[in-house]
Structure 1
Amino acid sequence: MPPEVNGVSLGSVGPGSQSALRRDNVRRVVAVLGEQGPSTQAQLTRATGLSAGTVASIVKDLDSSGRVTLTPTTSSGRRALNIHLVDTGHVAVGLDIGRRHVRALVVTPAHEIVADVQRPLPLGHDAETGILAAREVMSKALEDAGRTHSQVLGAGVGLPGPYDPATGRIGSGAILPEWVGIDISEALSAALQVPVHVNNDANLGALAHLGWGDQETGENFVFVKIGTGIGTGLVMDSKLYGGYRGLAGEIGHTIVVEQGLVCRCGNRGCLETVASTSSMLRALAAAPHPPTTTDELVSAALSGDVATRRVVEDAGLSIGKVLGQMASLINPQTILLGGPLSDLGDLLLEPVIRGLLRHTVPEIGGTISVRVSGLRDRAEALGGAVSVLSAADPAELYGPVAV
């Protein structure tokens, strides 16, 4: 008798058999659902390259076996069904470690956030302090989610700085200079006791939009993380682009002011010296009521403080200038602004757009959609979770693959 999976006969199981081909096709559909979250059959057809009939048959089998649920939605103005994977208990953890904070999200393979925990970190903390805090926040998030350590598929960790995957270390000039030279992957793996995927936080922000964001970003887009540092995650042809050593997108060290302030990277007049949250707070130090934190800066701008709004506008124009130059090189469809200044909305968005249009040709600038990320300050941690889910075997995530 041929073997069975979920009560379905496998028949011939050789690598060239129809059953093997069917299993591979199911894995492709399940993998896309795991990476992109709930999707319509039309979206699955485009993402997998399978025929519409094959996708429809697979979805029907998955629905019959209880591995997906279907909910009504609208796609391109037409009624459709969103296909959701059923939660099996496995989770991915996304960790965002910044200069002043650490955040942990617990996410199911069906793209449901089941816990979100964050806590402050002391300015200038060393790697040991940051990693210990990450472990504690991850444990608290798992407790809140009602999940055990054994259910964790892995942890995707975002760090603010040029992370070199070839060495597993943060490069010099990083926002966390106390972490430079440490084998981050090894240290995190030992502390968290789960498989670890480390990347630059802006790259993970872009990855979050690949696997979690809306469908309107297109196949070529830029995610901009504006915080203590400024970096970008580049997506080209629906793939994260890291460059030769995974260090592409470090626009924060593009020189915008000749003979300007000395940057932490050693150059003068870098974008971060005029447009990061730290530089904005420094510029407002002489104001009558100077903000001392990013939250206070955002609150002051939203409440109409003239000095704060001027500083935000100047920063936005500078960021737009650099993005305009970048757009001339890679011609993205969408630019998404993320990071702790997201709540500023149009106060930041409008000067960025003006700066971009001023520094690129109309044929490029006029076709780019520039907007604030809908994922707000969760993008980096969500991207960490997506990196884990993308690397996992669908059979591990959801049990045996039916055919």
Structure 2
Amino acid sequence: MYPSRVNTDRSTPGSQTSLREANRLRLVDAVKRFGGLTQVELAAATGLSTATVSTIVKELIAAGVVETHTTSRSGRRAQKVTIARRVGLVAGVQVGHRHLQVTLADFSRTVVAEQQMPLPAEHRLDTGLDRVALLIVDLLERVGAQTDELLAVGLALPAPVDSATGMISVRGVLRGWDDTHIGQVLSKRLATPVFVENDANLGALAEHDFGAARGARDSIFVRASYGTGAGLVLGDHLHRGYAGTAGEIGHVQITPDGPICRCGNRGCLETVVGATALLEMLRTSHGPLTLRDVIAQAIEGDPGCRRVVADAGARIGAAVATLATGINPQCVVVGGELAETGEVLVGPLREAVLRHVVPNTLAPLEVVVGELGTRAEVMGAVALALRSTDVASDGSAVQGFAP
């Protein structure tokens, strides 16, 4: 999916030389943004003529900035232009409540290596970031890359994040990680820029860029996992709110006299549909279970596990409906571990959303399962690192701006 025209001209009108440089930058930016396009697509995306695109592509290939790969579009063979591997790599990292996932990718969005590892409950900041740094270095060695080839890291955390500082913006949500400039700490370990973001936001970014929300300017991504949150893409850009707490539906009050939440408030949605609450509901009938056990048994047809997952979907859907009524998105994409149960979760969630939003007969709201599954957040971290790194027309990379 690509627009008819992308204005990425970062120069002012002037000499023929500056115009040519502006066109080179425009083309490089388009290739970086979409991960790879044919020359016909590049002409459409940049507004340049096909002859100009052909000339510039040849120059950039000679300079080692881009490279071409044979692809098939509409049944015809074509050459896809991508940023050259020599430009460098980025890493996407997801630190979950109980697992760590690291992915290395190049500027064509091709994953070159990835690895997962479990984490203990209430894992500490210092050891968690040490594990992240070690895994990234290990993956770089595995693909034969030097550490200076790593140009940026995107880091997804299960907490609201102030992107300007890289700090968690709500105390107590990720215990032991408060009051720390997390991006700065990890950046010192790796000697490369680190961009920190909430995991639901990055799930939203990934599904928008290359998942179920492709082509939708406004979308909501719902992450139903150990905790619950939502990420918003409005006008093709992440909407974080003033200090990173936009979309925190897990902390919407559901029961005024309910249990105390991690955030300090009482009766939040997360206290009803979070992993702790779901497992406690099943303790008497099923004994001690993990969230993975509940998901597996729900998929296999266990009535009790299916009941608690379905009820969670209905509760989440009611909260999402309020959010959707306020912003009127084109689609709601459901992800996170619980979404692996498919319609067991998504069916009741969809029904609750559509029952509570204002019915729109011209453009009805779609509620769909995410295409990227549990990889959405880490691929969003990759997308964040790519978006935050500019590639110059000589192939050098510089820190840009987060989306």
What TM-score do the two structures reach when normalised by structure 1?
0.86
C-alpha spacing 1:364/1:74, structure 2 compared with 1 (3 Å): farther
2:205 aligned partner: 207
Counterpart check, 1:32 vs 2:27: no
1:255 aligned partner: 253
C-alpha spacing 1:288/1:206, structure 2 compared with 1 (3 Å): closer
1:301-380, aligned counterparts within 5 Å? 301-363=298-360, 367-380=364-377
Decide which of 142, 160, 163 is 2:161's aligned counterpart: 163
CA distance in 2, matches of 1:56, 1:291: 62
Shift of 1:83: 4.0
Which residue identity is paired with 1:123? A
1:83-162, aligned counterparts within 5 Å? 83-88=81-86, 90-162=88-160
CA distance in 2, matches of 1:276, 1:43: 44
Which residue identity is paired with 2:355? R
1:69 aligned partner: 68
Which residue identity is paired with 2:379? L
C-alpha spacing 1:398/1:343, structure 2 compared with 1 (3 Å): farther
1:22 aligned partner: 20
Contact residue 324 and residue 360 of structure 1 kept, 8 A: yes
Shift of 1:174: 4.3
Report the count of equivalent residues.
Answer: 383
1:241 aligned partner: 239
Name the stretch that deviates more: 343-352 or 366-375. Answer: 366-375
Contact residue 156 and residue 384 of structure 1 kept, 8 A: yes
Counterpart check, 1:295 vs 2:292: yes
C-alpha spacing 1:319/1:239, structure 2 compared with 1 (3 Å): same
CA distance in 1, matches of 2:367, 2:70: 31
1:382 aligned partner: 379
Contact residue 337 and residue 371 of structure 1 kept, 8 A: yes
Shift of 1:34: 1.5
Shift of 1:313: 0.3
1:54 aligned partner: 49
1:4 aligned partner: none
Q: Name the SS of the counterpart of 2:92 in structure 1.
A: strand
Q: Name the SS of the counterpart of 2:153 in structure 1.
A: strand
Shift of 1:235: 0.7
Q: Name the SS of the counterpart of 2:154 in structure 1.
A: strand
Contact residue 102 and residue 137 of structure 1 kept, 8 A: no
CA distance in 1, matches of 2:395, 2:191: 22
C-alpha spacing 1:214/1:328, structure 2 compared with 1 (3 Å): closer
Cα offsets for 1:165-201 (capped at 9, x unmatched): 3443213344321111222122111222221111111
Which residue identity is paired with 1:54? S
CA distance in 2, matches of 1:344, 1:219: 27
C-alpha spacing 1:190/1:263, structure 2 compared with 1 (3 Å): same
C-alpha spacing 1:65/1:163, structure 2 compared with 1 (3 Å): closer
Shift of 1:35: 2.6
C-alpha spacing 1:213/1:40, structure 2 compared with 1 (3 Å): farther
Q: Where does structure 1 lack aligned partners over 5 or more consecutive residues?
A: 1-12
Shift of 1:69: 2.1
Cα offsets for 1:13-56 (capped at 9, x unmatched): 9961233223223322322322322345676566x5x42x4366
CA distance in 1, matches of 2:129, 2:381: 15
1:277 aligned partner: 275
CA distance in 2, matches of 1:211, 1:226: 20
Q: Name the SS of the counterpart of 1:398 in structure 2.
A: coil
Shift of 1:306: 0.6
2:7 aligned partner: none
Name the stretch that deviates more: 348-357 or 306-315. Answer: 348-357
Q: Where does structure 2 lack aligned partners over 5 or more consecutive residues?
A: 1-10, 398-403
Contact residue 331 and residue 364 of structure 1 kept, 8 A: no
C-alpha spacing 1:285/1:108, structure 2 compared with 1 (3 Å): same
Shift of 1:84: 3.5
Contact residue 93 and residue 107 of structure 1 kept, 8 A: yes
C-alpha spacing 1:295/1:59, structure 2 compared with 1 (3 Å): farther
Shift of 1:151: 0.4
Contact residue 261 and residue 267 of structure 2 kept, 8 A: yes
Contact residue 95 and residue 102 of structure 1 kept, 8 A: yes
CA distance in 1, matches of 2:113, 2:354: 40
